[in-house]
Chains A and B, each alone.
Chain A
Amino acid sequence: MQLEEFITIEKEGGVATIWFDNKREKMNVVSPAVIELFDELMDKIEGDPEIEAAVFISKKPDFMAGADIKAFTIEKEGDFRPYQEKGHRALDRIERSRKPFVAAVHGTAYGLGTELSLACHARIATKSPRTKFGLPEVKLGLLPGGGGTQRLPRLIGIQKALDMMLTGKNIFAYRAKKIGLADELTEEGKLHQAAVMLARRLVKKPIERKSKLSLADKLLEGNPVGRRILFSQARKMAYKRSQGNYPAIPAIIDCVETGIEQGQEAGYGKELEWFEKLMLTPESAALRALFFAMSDNKKNPYGDNPKKLETLGMIGAGFMGAGIAEVSVTKGVPVLLKDIRQEVVSQAQQQIWQSLQKKVKQKALTRVEAEAQMANLHGQLDYRHFGRADIVIEAVLEKMDLKKQIIRDVETHCREDVIIASNTSSLSLTEMAQHARKPEMVIGMHYFSPVPKMPLLEIVKTDKTADWVIAACYDLGIRQGKTCIVVQDGPSFYVNRILSPYTNECLLMADEGVALEAIDRAFLKKGFPVGPITLLDQVGLDIAAHVTDTSRKIVAGRPGFEICEAVVNMFEAGRLGRKNKKGFYKYNDKGRRQGIDPTAYEFFQGDGKKTLPVEEIQGRGLMLMLNEAVLCLEEGIIPNPEAGDLGAVFGIGFPPFTGGPFRAMDTWGIKSVVETMRGLQDKYGPRFAPAATLERMAEEGGRFY
């Protein structure tokens, strides 16, 4: 790669402006070839006596998107180290240069983008809501490998640096200024000029920074005893949150501590050592694969030129309907939000308005923008203007008769070419389609609750659904910011289907007498964001009871399956879970969870006194889920393992570090998965019999990927 393919230098009045503009990629991503360029660049800047200072700035809409993860392949320790050492040296040269460097940041500065700016002598950023710093490596099972673990804590303090690196969260402009990550803020149009002026000032006098730490933080971070407490607390908390499933987390803490206590040299050494180790972990491999699958997912598999659905008619303004409306109006899709009760419409508007106000407060949105988004939402009680809708999504009660009625209404009030989508999670799309005048226009758009937070959209097609309809819905899902998978209609589709034998098995264990909290704990330990019992309380036992009915359909005729009726009985006894503060757990007045409600055991044969090894609890739930996922693949419910993995991770929080059920089986070995199942089969009966595909793969030594 030539320097000119990534960088152009402009000199004016003693200041060199180094423009990043990667000619080969849409974003400024740093590949090994780019790292090679930095020595040449630094020679040019340092060797030119006319240049007194330099500014890094991007010609693209974003500053720098970080390292090109795909370009860095590594098979064994030692493969990566040379690149990283080169990167460290380049950043070190910037930091030690006698000529001041200023990073002028607009748009995203992720990973190396943030780390490069940290090596500079000052950072100026734009106030734009698009501008954000971040070290998201942890999300890929890695650590900030460009000196981030060393420079960041020295600039903004240990606690804030750890928080930023362990969560990988975005730091927007105003926050960056507040914590000292950005020295100055300016407007987008003034960025270059202001950065040059700042660089000139730095030539005369280096920047003076006042510590932004509070007195308490200064005391804690300023002495070795305080720091020892701090690091040990950080480790404990991180362990609690990650259950030890993410090796990158202790690695990051280790790098920071080493750098602070033993000096930067030792710190950089740790960074090199750990980065390579992490690159070789299956956790990082799985997380990176997920990340790539998610990025590839933005490409519409059903065609490059889908019909753009402009206006959404949303029927049902309950919590789901409001959520779907919110992710639409905020992305510029006008919504006609219809319900039969005015209070429900008003409630939905309140919900969306509050969420927009939060963004206004965070300065991520101006007041007029928020009001304009709100104006895109038209609450109504009738079908007025529905003739304009390109797609109608219904999120009404899960009753087939009602859904059929709505299909008839939509056919009366909407155009001929309207797509009729259902947000049902349990009813048959095929049955709905049979009822429609044009079955090819009927599709499932299964969102997950709460819609603005949950990243997945499960698009459900029937045998009749037209390809252009799927393509258009996929496109809408992408615009709503969702990761989409397309699945075939069948009881509970994919995501809820793999969930149902898992939760059922957990309830059966409770029937056998295993303590409810022990079941939750086992799966938290395994890496699930919530345990199955908590999950049931959260979704609500009314819905869970309904799902139990569907579960019966799924396992009907399969040997050895019995359905635990506990949630149905609990629902009939008036326990709805968190929503009426009466479920498996106890809740205080504010709705906070208090611990298992002992009266929940009245609905089980067991009393919670029996103990079972954690591995056995995990195995029983998990193996049934994996097996069900494989059955879905066999039956063509999901098109491929990628869709299965994305759906499980983003739909139900299947432990992300495993990469999803299919990659997990690859990692653990199909053979060993099958052996585990056989072991459980011997003990608990034929419901644990491995799917035919697994048996075959175990024999032939196949893999899903």
Chain B
Amino acid sequence: MHKVVIIDGCRTPFLRSGTDYADLMSYQLGAFAIKGLLTKTGLDPALVDKVAMGNVISNIKTPNVAREAALTAGIPSTVPCHTVSQACISANRAIADGCLEIMAGLADIVIAGGVDHTSDTPIQFPRKMRRKLFNAQRLKTVGDNLSFLASLRPTDFVPERPQVAEYTTGRVMGEDCDIMAARFQVSREEQDEYAVRSHQLAARAFEEGHLPEEIVEVSLPPKFKPITRDNGIRGDSTVAAVSKLRPAFDKKFGTLTAANSSFLTDGAAAVLLMSEEKAKELGFTPKAEVVDFVFTGQSLEKELLLGPAYAVSKLLKRQEMELKDIDVIEFHEAFAGQILSNLKALASDEFAKENLGRVQAVGTIAMDKFNLWGGSLSIGHPFGATGARITTTTANRLQQEGGTYGLLAACAAGAHGHAMLLKKR
């Protein structure tokens, strides 16, 4: 089996949905990340064996968005590209696909990442209207057309509101997280404090140059005014200010607010994976190597966002490692409540016995190793791209902070979890 190394990673600035990227299509955003990675690393695009991208909100014009993104970024048409979807861990899935191909010797150089452009969410007509329109394709005579027009009702034109709702349970994710936070006794104050921490750390990481290091500048036609920073980070946010917000989901008894939940974001990210031999041959210096990774599935009813707890437990068990062996930890922050619930689950002996098949808790995560450059709560969360951002950040933090092992984890709709272990190079 071949060893997989991460050469580098990058991302576009992450922007709040409906802001400067609003007029783009998702493939264009993806192209900026891929092109940025090529420019940053100086890799000859002709050497790429594969491009894999994660994506959640699919544009029906570009269902395999990896392809259009790669072509636009100058990757030759001879390079196969595919798009994967696994909710918020789509990019992790794309990276894992790349790793597997390299490990199996099927590829040497893979660009993997993801893109989401929530500004361009497809809005559907109601089912009965879609049915009528579908049938309308077969209309021929004037009479057919007239009877089609006569069949339309005003309610047919009311679009279905797009929601991040779980199809199986019918609940939106915030509702689930509200329930979970309550179950793990996570208070509103704890959540607000965590959210503020995320913003303050992200703002500091930006000032210290850590975030600019992973961002590639984007200049959009027709003005080509460069966009160089994320627009969701609020370094000046305080607990006092965010504690004034009303709950966003459960208006009566909820603890989740707009401030302690991640916001809709447009953005793309990508990492460059290589086999260790190929990196050596081409003279690339890797930042990290991929040691191992896992994907998990849980109950959709009760454990929708507990993926990180399950995945971290499973991964550490496989590697016969403990939390204290880890130097850098990066979790995807869907909600402050979700992060804190997972941390509590990991630290709970009871949870470990009942759910993880362990005799005692996985352990308490040291906050001085945890999400030190901010997270999805502050930087933003383009569903399909976040996994590649976290992978890049983990590798960069290993380089900056000098530890040996880096652990990243994320939850996803559908009650999935993912964790990956990186080793500094």
Tell me the A residues contacting B by CB distance below 8 Å.
Answer: 342, 345-347, 349-350, 353-354, 357, 368, 371-372, 374-376, 378-379, 385, 388
Contacts and interface: CB of A to CB of B under 8 A. Distances in A.
B31 to A, nearest CB: 6
Nearest to B73: A375
Contact of B39 (A345, A347, A371, A385): A385
A371 B28 contact: yes
Most A CB contacts (10 A, CB to CB) among B28, B35, B72, B222 go to B72
Interface in B23-57: 28, 31, 35, 39, 42
Interface string B58-101: 00000000001001111000000000000000000000000000
A173 B28 CA distance: 29
Contacts of B124: none
B39 A368 contact: no
Contacts of B226: 342, 346, 379
Contacts of A354: 222
Contacts of A372: 71-74
Given A375-B72, A375-B73, A388-B42, A349 B224 contact: yes
Contacts of A379: 219, 224, 226
A353 B221 CA distance: 7
B225 interface: yes
A374 B28 CA distance: 12
Contact of A353 (B42, B71, B224): B224
Interface in B116-146: none
A357 B222 CA distance: 10
B183 interface: no
Contact of B68 (A347, A357, A368, A388): A368
A375 B75 CA distance: 11
B42 A374 contact: no
A347 B223 CA distance: 8
Given A345-B224, A354-B222, A378-B39, 13 more contacts: A346-B224, A346-B225, A350-B222, A350-B223, A350-B224, A353-B221, A353-B224, A357-B221, A372-B71, A375-B35, A375-B72, A379-B219, A379-B226
- Ordered nearest first, which 8 A-B pairs have the shortest CB separation? A349-B224, A346-B224, A371-B72, A375-B35, A353-B221, A372-B72, A372-B74, A388-B42
Interface string B389-423: 00000000000000000000000000000000000
Contacts of A368: 68, 71-72
A375 B224 contact: no
B221 A374 contact: yes
Contacts of B71: 368, 372
Given A353-B221, A368-B72, A375 B42 contact: no
26 contacts: A345-B224, A346-B223, A346-B226, A347-B224, A349-B221, A349-B224, A350-B223, A350-B224, A353-B221, A354-B222, A368-B71, A368-B72, A371-B28, A371-B31, A372-B71, A372-B72, A372-B74, A375-B31, A375-B35, A375-B72, A375-B73, A375-B74, A376-B74, A378-B39, A379-B219, A379-B226
Contacts of A378: 39
Contacts of B68: 368
Contacts of A350: 221-224
Contacts of A349: 219, 221, 224
A376 B221 CA distance: 14
Nearest to A336: B39
A353 B222 contact: yes
Most A CB contacts (10 A, CB to CB) among B42, B68, B226 go to B226
Nearest to A367: B72
A372 B74 CA distance: 6
B185 to A, nearest CB: 50
A388 B224 CA distance: 24
* A interface secondary structure, majority: helix
Nearest to A388: B42
Interface of B: 28, 31, 35, 39, 42, 68, 71-74, 219, 221-226
Contacts of B219: 346, 349, 379
Nearest to A349: B224
A378 B73 CA distance: 12
Most A CB contacts (10 A, CB to CB) among B31, B68, B224, B225 go to B224
Contacts of A342: 226
A385 B31 CA distance: 19
A309 to B, nearest CB: 15
A379 B219 CA distance: 9
Contacts of A353: 221-222, 224
A385 B43 CA distance: 12
A368 B222 CA distance: 16
A596 B102 CA distance: 72
Given A346-B223, A379-B219, A385 B42 contact: yes
Contacts of B42: 385, 388
Contacts of A385: 39, 42
B38 to A, nearest CB: 9
Nearest to A346: B224
Contacts of A376: 74
A344 to B, nearest CB: 11
A653 to B, nearest CB: 32
A372 B72 CA distance: 4
Nearest to A356: B221
A350 B31 CA distance: 19
A350 B219 CA distance: 10
Contacts of A347: 224
A346 B28 CA distance: 18
Contacts of B74: 372, 375-376
Most B CB contacts (10 A, CB to CB) among A378, A379, A385 go to A378
Nearest to A343: B225
A189 to B, nearest CB: 16
Contacts of A345: 224
Contacts of B35: 375
A349 B221 CA distance: 8
A337 to B, nearest CB: 11
A349 B31 CA distance: 17
A365 to B, nearest CB: 13
A13 to B, nearest CB: 34
Nearest to B39: A378
A525 to B, nearest CB: 42
A140 B168 CA distance: 74
B35 to A, nearest CB: 5
A376 B72 CA distance: 10
Nearest to A380: B217
A347 B224 CA distance: 8
A163 B185 CA distance: 82
A584 B71 CA distance: 50
Nearest to B27: A368
Most A CB contacts (10 A, CB to CB) among B28, B31, B39, B222 go to B39
Contacts of A346: 219, 223-226
A215 to B, nearest CB: 30
Contacts of A374: 221
A346 B220 CA distance: 9
A68 B120 CA distance: 55
A241 to B, nearest CB: 34
Contacts of B73: 372, 375
Nearest to B42: A388
Nearest to B68: A368
A372 B224 CA distance: 15
Contacts of B224: 345-347, 349-350, 353, 379
A493 B224 CA distance: 36
A355 B224 CA distance: 14
A348 to B, nearest CB: 8
A522 B126 CA distance: 74
A357 B39 CA distance: 24
Contacts of B31: 371, 375
A389 to B, nearest CB: 11
Contacts of B221: 349-350, 353, 357, 374
A372 to B, nearest CB: 5
A509 B331 CA distance: 80
A629 to B, nearest CB: 42
